[in-house]
Amino acid sequence: MTTSWTLLRVVRDRNAGLYLTGLLVSAFGTSSLSLASGVWVRDLTGSDSLPALCMLTAWAPTLAGPALGTIADRVRPGPLLITLHLALAAALPALFAVRSPDGLWLLFTVLLLYGTAGVVGEAAESALIASVVPGDLLGDFSGLRTTVTEGMKLVAPLTGAGLYAAFGGPAVACLDAGTFVLAAGLCALLRVPEKRPARSGGCRRKETAEGVRYLWGHPVLRPLVRAGGTTMLLASLSGTTVYAVVDRLGHSPAWTGVLYAVQGFGSVTAGLVSGAALRRLGGRRFAATGIALTALAVAARAVPSDAMALASAAAIGLGLPCVLVAAFTAVQRETPGPLLGRVTATANTLVFTPSVIGLAVGAGLVEIASPQLLLPLYGLALLVTASLLAQRADSAARTAARSESDANPA
C-alpha cells in the first residue's frame, strides 16, 4: 500500500508525470534505433563485428562525461533538454542518405552525436529532477525511470525490427526523430522555476575537476559509485557468456532474446519497488542487497538447466538496477545544485565505462575458458563487492549511533 501510494504521488505530480511521459516516448525511439542500427550495418557490410561499433560509438562520449557535464551546469536544464531533443530530431533525417557501406560514416556520426547528447542530457535531467521531485520521492522517481526505460526495451526493439524489415533503416530514424520532437514538446510544458546558473568565473577544466573532487571526496557517494562501477564491470563480463550458456543448453542463439526479456521484466519490477526499499534499507544496504542477488544469479547461470537460466535472468534483472538507483538517487540528494551536472556526468562515467571494458575483456575470456569456470568467479567477485559495501553501511550506522549518543548523554 505504501509503495503504491508513493508511486501514485509521483505520477500524479504534473511535472513529474510530464517528464516521465517524455522519457517514455524518447526511450521508445532510442531503443528502436539501437537494435535497428546494428542490423542496418550488418545488412550493408555482411560483417559480424562492425555492428558492435554502433554500441561502442554511442557509448564513447561517456568517457568525456565530467567535461560534458560542465555544460549542464552552465545552462538552465529545461531549455537545454529541449534543445538536445530538437537537435537530435534534426540530425536523424541525415540517415536517409545511408544506402551503401560508403555512407555508414553518417550513421556512426549520428550515433556519436546521440551519445554526446545523452551524456549532457542525463546531467541536465539530474538537475531538473532535483527541482521537480520532492526529496523524499527521488528514490521512487528513479525507480519509475528504470521501469520506463527497461519497459521500453521490451517493446521498442521488436517495433524497430519490424519497421526496419518492412521499410528499412530510414523509417526507424524517422520514428526516432518524431519521438524526440514529442519529448521536446512535453519538456516545454514543464512548469519549473529555473534560475540562470551563476558562472564561477573559472576555466572549464577547473570546473570539471571541481565536480570530480566533490564526488570522490564525498563519504556517501564514493562507495556507491565505486560499487556501481565494479558491479557493471562484472555484470558485463558475465553478459558475454550468454551465447555460450544458451548453446550449452541446446538452444539456438535466438533464445537469448527470451533471457533478455525475462531480465527486462525483472528490471521493471525492481523499478517499482526501489523507492520503498531505499527508504527501508538505506542506500548502501539496498545496493548491497541487489549486488548480492546479482552475484547468486550470475553463479547460478553456470548450472545447465533451462529453469535455472530463466530464474537467474529474472534475478539479475531484479538485482542489477538496485545499485544504480541507489547511486544516482544519492547523487541527486547529496550534490549542491551548481555542481549537479558535473557530478552526475562523472558518476555516469565511473559507473558505465567499466561496462565497455567488461564487454571487450569478457569476449576474449569466453574464448579461452568455459562459462562453468568464469560465472562462479564473477559471482564470487560480486559477492565480495556486496559484502564490502554492506560492511561500510554497518560502520556508518555505528558511527552515526555513537555521534548521537555523544550529542545526547544520559
Whether residue 102 is predicted with pLDDT greater than 60 in this model: the reply is yes
- Mean pLDDT over the full length of the chain: 84
Q: What is the pLDDT of residues 307-364, one digit of tens each?
A: 999 999 999 999 999 999 999 999 988 888 778 888 888 898 899 889 888 877 887 8
- Which amino acid type is present at position 24? L
Q: What is the pLDDT of residues 48-84, one digit of tens each?
A: 557 767 777 888 888 888 888 888 878 888 889 999 9
Q: What is the pLDDT of residues 79-99, one digit of tens each?
A: 899 999 999 999 999 999 998
pLDDT for res 89: 94
CB 235 within 8 A of CB 355: yes
What is the spatial distance between Cα 59 and Cα 42, in angstroms, rounded to a whole number? 19
Q: What's the gap between Cα 247 and its chain centre? A: 28
pLDDT for res 87: 95
Q: Cα torsion for 223, 70, 177, 329, to the nearest 10°?
A: 30
DSSP 302: T
- Which amino acid type is present at position 292? A
Q: Where are the alpha helices (DSSP H) in 92-168?
A: 104-132, 138-167
205 grid coordinates:
577544466
Whether residue 5 is predicted with pLDDT greater than 60 in this model: the reply is no
Is the model more confident about 3 or about 55? 55
Q: What is the pTM of this model?
A: 0.78
Q: What is the pLDDT of residues 161-205, one digit of tens each?
A: 788 888 888 999 999 999 999 999 998 888 776 566 555 555 667
CB 78 within 8 A of CB 187: yes
